[in-house]
Amino acid sequence: MTQGQMKERTNELGPGAILIHLGLLLFGITAWLTGDLADDYKKAVHSGFTVHSLIGIAAAGFAGLRLLTGLFGPRIVRFSQWMPFTPGRIRLALEDVAGLVRFRLPERPTHQGLAGVVQTFGLFVFLLMAVTGGVLFFGLEPGQKAHGVLHDVKEVHEIGVALVPAFLLMHVGAVVMHALRGKHLWKKILFINDKIESRSLNRESLAGER
Protein backbone atom coordinates (compact mmCIF):
# COMPACT_ATOMS: atom_id res chain seq x y z
CA MET A 1 0.00 0.00 0.00
CA THR A 2 1.42 3.38 -1.00
CA GLN A 3 1.77 6.36 1.33
CA GLY A 4 -1.07 8.10 -0.54
CA GLN A 5 -3.35 5.12 0.08
CA MET A 6 -2.36 5.01 3.73
CA LYS A 7 -3.09 8.74 4.09
CA GLU A 8 -6.50 8.23 2.43
CA ARG A 9 -7.21 5.38 4.83
CA THR A 10 -6.66 7.64 7.84
CA ASN A 11 -9.35 9.99 6.50
CA GLU A 12 -11.91 7.23 5.94
CA LEU A 13 -14.75 6.41 8.30
CA GLY A 14 -14.86 2.94 9.82
CA PRO A 15 -17.67 0.44 9.12
CA GLY A 16 -19.48 1.31 12.36
CA ALA A 17 -19.59 5.04 11.57
CA ILE A 18 -20.76 4.34 8.01
CA LEU A 19 -23.56 2.04 9.23
CA ILE A 20 -24.75 4.69 11.70
CA HIS A 21 -24.66 7.30 8.92
CA LEU A 22 -26.56 4.99 6.57
CA GLY A 23 -29.14 4.03 9.20
CA LEU A 24 -29.76 7.64 10.17
CA LEU A 25 -30.13 8.64 6.54
CA LEU A 26 -32.46 5.77 5.57
CA PHE A 27 -34.73 5.88 8.62
CA GLY A 28 -34.61 9.68 8.75
CA ILE A 29 -35.73 9.99 5.14
CA THR A 30 -38.38 7.27 5.58
CA ALA A 31 -39.74 9.03 8.67
CA TRP A 32 -39.86 12.27 6.69
CA LEU A 33 -41.68 10.60 3.79
CA THR A 34 -44.26 9.01 6.12
CA GLY A 35 -44.88 12.23 8.03
CA ASP A 36 -48.29 12.82 6.43
CA LEU A 37 -49.46 9.45 7.73
CA ALA A 38 -49.13 10.75 11.28
CA ASP A 39 -51.97 13.21 10.77
CA ASP A 40 -54.46 10.52 11.79
CA TYR A 41 -53.34 10.83 15.44
CA LYS A 42 -56.56 12.78 16.03
CA LYS A 43 -58.57 9.64 15.27
CA ALA A 44 -59.26 6.74 17.58
CA VAL A 45 -57.74 4.40 14.98
CA HIS A 46 -54.35 5.88 14.08
CA SER A 47 -52.32 3.24 12.24
CA GLY A 48 -50.53 5.91 10.20
CA PHE A 49 -49.29 7.64 13.35
CA THR A 50 -48.13 4.27 14.71
CA VAL A 51 -46.16 3.40 11.56
CA HIS A 52 -44.57 6.85 11.42
CA SER A 53 -43.73 6.66 15.12
CA LEU A 54 -42.00 3.29 14.86
CA ILE A 55 -39.87 4.50 11.96
CA GLY A 56 -39.16 7.70 13.86
CA ILE A 57 -38.03 5.74 16.92
CA ALA A 58 -35.53 3.86 14.74
CA ALA A 59 -34.28 7.16 13.29
CA ALA A 60 -34.01 8.63 16.80
CA GLY A 61 -31.98 5.59 17.88
CA PHE A 62 -29.46 6.16 15.10
CA ALA A 63 -29.40 9.88 15.90
CA GLY A 64 -28.61 8.99 19.52
CA LEU A 65 -25.82 6.66 18.40
CA ARG A 66 -24.38 9.43 16.24
CA LEU A 67 -24.49 11.78 19.19
CA LEU A 68 -22.66 9.28 21.39
CA THR A 69 -19.99 8.53 18.79
CA GLY A 70 -19.57 12.26 18.24
CA LEU A 71 -18.81 12.69 21.93
CA PHE A 72 -16.97 9.48 22.79
CA GLY A 73 -16.27 7.65 19.52
CA PRO A 74 -13.18 7.37 17.30
CA ARG A 75 -11.21 10.55 16.84
CA ILE A 76 -12.20 11.09 13.20
CA VAL A 77 -15.94 11.23 14.01
CA ARG A 78 -15.78 13.25 17.23
CA PHE A 79 -17.46 16.64 17.05
CA SER A 80 -14.41 18.27 18.61
CA GLN A 81 -12.39 17.35 15.50
CA TRP A 82 -14.57 18.79 12.78
CA MET A 83 -17.61 20.82 13.87
CA PRO A 84 -17.20 24.37 12.48
CA PHE A 85 -17.07 26.17 15.81
CA THR A 86 -13.52 27.51 15.59
CA PRO A 87 -12.20 30.46 13.52
CA GLY A 88 -9.95 28.14 11.51
CA ARG A 89 -12.75 25.75 10.55
CA ILE A 90 -15.09 28.61 9.69
CA ARG A 91 -12.37 30.04 7.46
CA LEU A 92 -12.05 26.70 5.64
CA ALA A 93 -15.81 26.59 5.09
CA LEU A 94 -15.79 30.12 3.67
CA GLU A 95 -12.91 29.18 1.37
CA ASP A 96 -14.95 26.22 0.12
CA VAL A 97 -17.93 28.49 -0.58
CA ALA A 98 -15.69 30.86 -2.50
CA GLY A 99 -14.35 27.89 -4.46
CA LEU A 100 -17.86 26.73 -5.37
CA VAL A 101 -18.63 30.21 -6.70
CA ARG A 102 -15.68 29.65 -9.06
CA PHE A 103 -16.99 26.14 -9.88
CA ARG A 104 -14.26 24.39 -7.89
CA LEU A 105 -15.24 21.48 -5.65
CA PRO A 106 -13.67 21.40 -2.15
CA GLU A 107 -10.99 18.76 -1.57
CA ARG A 108 -10.83 18.31 2.19
CA PRO A 109 -10.38 15.47 4.68
CA THR A 110 -13.56 13.91 6.09
CA HIS A 111 -16.06 16.47 7.46
CA GLN A 112 -13.65 19.39 7.10
CA GLY A 113 -14.60 22.75 5.60
CA LEU A 114 -18.04 23.17 4.07
CA ALA A 115 -18.75 19.44 4.49
CA GLY A 116 -18.57 19.95 8.25
CA VAL A 117 -21.16 22.73 8.05
CA VAL A 118 -23.52 20.50 6.06
CA GLN A 119 -23.02 17.57 8.45
CA THR A 120 -23.60 19.80 11.48
CA PHE A 121 -26.79 21.16 9.94
CA GLY A 122 -28.03 17.65 9.12
CA LEU A 123 -27.29 16.34 12.60
CA PHE A 124 -29.08 19.31 14.15
CA VAL A 125 -32.15 18.69 11.97
CA PHE A 126 -32.35 14.97 12.76
CA LEU A 127 -31.79 15.52 16.48
CA LEU A 128 -34.49 18.21 16.45
CA MET A 129 -36.86 15.78 14.77
CA ALA A 130 -35.93 13.00 17.20
CA VAL A 131 -36.46 15.07 20.35
CA THR A 132 -39.70 16.75 19.26
CA GLY A 133 -40.99 13.50 17.78
CA GLY A 134 -40.29 11.69 21.03
CA VAL A 135 -42.20 14.32 23.01
CA LEU A 136 -45.16 13.99 20.66
CA PHE A 137 -45.08 10.20 20.76
CA PHE A 138 -45.28 10.08 24.56
CA GLY A 139 -47.41 13.21 25.02
CA LEU A 140 -50.18 12.97 22.44
CA GLU A 141 -53.45 11.33 23.41
CA PRO A 142 -54.96 9.19 20.63
CA GLY A 143 -58.15 10.70 19.27
CA GLN A 144 -57.35 14.21 20.59
CA LYS A 145 -55.74 17.28 19.06
CA ALA A 146 -52.50 18.74 20.40
CA HIS A 147 -52.95 21.69 22.77
CA GLY A 148 -50.68 24.05 24.69
CA VAL A 149 -47.03 23.03 24.89
CA LEU A 150 -47.62 19.92 22.78
CA HIS A 151 -49.02 22.09 20.01
CA ASP A 152 -45.87 24.26 20.15
CA VAL A 153 -43.68 21.15 20.01
CA LYS A 154 -45.69 19.95 17.01
CA GLU A 155 -45.03 23.28 15.26
CA VAL A 156 -41.28 22.96 15.91
CA HIS A 157 -41.40 19.37 14.62
CA GLU A 158 -42.98 20.62 11.41
CA ILE A 159 -40.19 23.17 11.01
CA GLY A 160 -37.80 20.22 11.07
CA VAL A 161 -39.88 18.55 8.37
CA ALA A 162 -39.26 21.58 6.14
CA LEU A 163 -35.50 21.51 6.86
CA VAL A 164 -34.96 17.85 5.91
CA PRO A 165 -35.22 18.41 2.11
CA ALA A 166 -32.81 21.36 2.39
CA PHE A 167 -30.21 19.10 4.01
CA LEU A 168 -30.82 16.31 1.48
CA LEU A 169 -30.40 18.75 -1.39
CA MET A 170 -27.00 19.84 -0.07
CA HIS A 171 -25.82 16.37 0.97
CA VAL A 172 -26.95 14.41 -2.07
CA GLY A 173 -25.95 17.26 -4.35
CA ALA A 174 -22.40 17.15 -3.01
CA VAL A 175 -22.20 13.37 -3.52
CA VAL A 176 -23.46 13.70 -7.12
CA MET A 177 -21.06 16.53 -7.93
CA HIS A 178 -18.10 14.54 -6.61
CA ALA A 179 -19.27 11.46 -8.54
CA LEU A 180 -19.30 13.48 -11.76
CA ARG A 181 -15.64 14.26 -11.11
CA GLY A 182 -14.79 10.62 -10.54
CA LYS A 183 -14.82 10.63 -6.73
CA HIS A 184 -17.54 8.10 -5.88
CA LEU A 185 -18.22 8.79 -2.21
CA TRP A 186 -21.40 6.69 -2.32
CA LYS A 187 -19.27 3.57 -2.75
CA LYS A 188 -17.94 3.99 0.78
CA ILE A 189 -21.46 3.61 2.16
CA LEU A 190 -21.87 0.31 0.30
CA PHE A 191 -18.30 -0.76 1.22
CA ILE A 192 -17.55 -1.19 -2.49
CA ASN A 193 -14.17 0.53 -2.17
CA ASP A 194 -13.10 -1.91 0.54
CA LYS A 195 -14.16 -4.90 -1.58
CA ILE A 196 -12.30 -3.63 -4.64
CA GLU A 197 -9.18 -2.82 -2.63
CA SER A 198 -9.31 -6.19 -0.89
CA ARG A 199 -9.45 -7.98 -4.24
CA SER A 200 -6.59 -5.84 -5.53
CA LEU A 201 -4.46 -6.66 -2.50
CA ASN A 202 -5.22 -10.37 -2.93
CA ARG A 203 -4.11 -10.23 -6.55
CA GLU A 204 -0.89 -8.44 -5.55
CA SER A 205 -0.27 -11.04 -2.86
CA LEU A 206 -0.78 -13.93 -5.30
CA ALA A 207 1.46 -12.24 -7.87
CA GLY A 208 4.15 -11.84 -5.23
CA GLU A 209 3.98 -15.52 -4.33
CA ARG A 210 4.52 -16.46 -7.95
- The CATH number linked to 106 is 1.20.950
Q: pLDDT (tens digit, 9 = 90+) per residue, 82-126?
A: 999 999 999 999 999 999 888 888 888 878 899 999 999 999 999
**Which 3 state secondary structure label does DSSP give 6?**
helix
Residue 71 has a CB neighbour count (10 Å cut-off) of: 11
pLDDT of residue 178: 67
For residue 140, give the nearest of 72, 14, 205, 44 by alpha carbon: 44
- Whether 1 is covered by a domain: the verdict is no
Instruction: Label residue 176 by pLDDT band (50, 70, 90).
Output: confident
pLDDT of residue 78: 93
Radius of gyration of the chain (CA): 21
- Whether 52 is covered by a domain: the verdict is yes
- Whether 120 is covered by a domain: the verdict is yes
φ, ψ dihedrals at 115, nearest 5°: -60, -35
Q: Which helix (H) or strand (E) holds 170?
A: helix 148-180
Rounded CA-CA distance 64/109 in Å is 24
pLDDT of residue 104: 86
Mean pLDDT is highest, among 5-9, 151-155, 185-189, for 151-155
For residue 13, give the nearest of 109, 88, 125 by alpha carbon: 109
Domain count, the chain: 1
- What percentage of residues in the chain have a pLDDT greater than 70? 79
Rounded CA-CA distance 171/186 in Å is 11
Q: pLDDT (tens digit, 9 = 90+) per residue, 16-45?
A: 888 998 999 899 999 999 999 988 888 878
- Whether 2 is covered by a domain: the verdict is no
* 183 has a pLDDT exceeding 70: no
Q: pLDDT (tens digit, 9 = 90+) per residue, 49-77?
A: 999 999 999 999 999 999 999 999 988 88
12, 188 contact by CB (below 8 A): yes
Q: pLDDT (tens digit, 9 = 90+) per residue, 121-147?
A: 999 999 999 999 999 999 988 778 888
CA dihedral 31, 183, 166, 150 (to 10 degrees): 30
pLDDT of residue 141: 83
Looking at per-residue pLDDT, the higher value among 10 and 106 belongs to: 106
φ, ψ dihedrals at 70, nearest 5°: -70, -25
Q: What is the mean pLDDT of the chain?
A: 82
- Whether 8 is covered by a domain: the verdict is no
pTM of the model: 0.78
Question: Domain limits at 41?
Answer: 13-209
Instruction: Label residue 8 by pLDDT band (50, 70, 90).
Output: very low
- Whether 5 is covered by a domain: the verdict is no
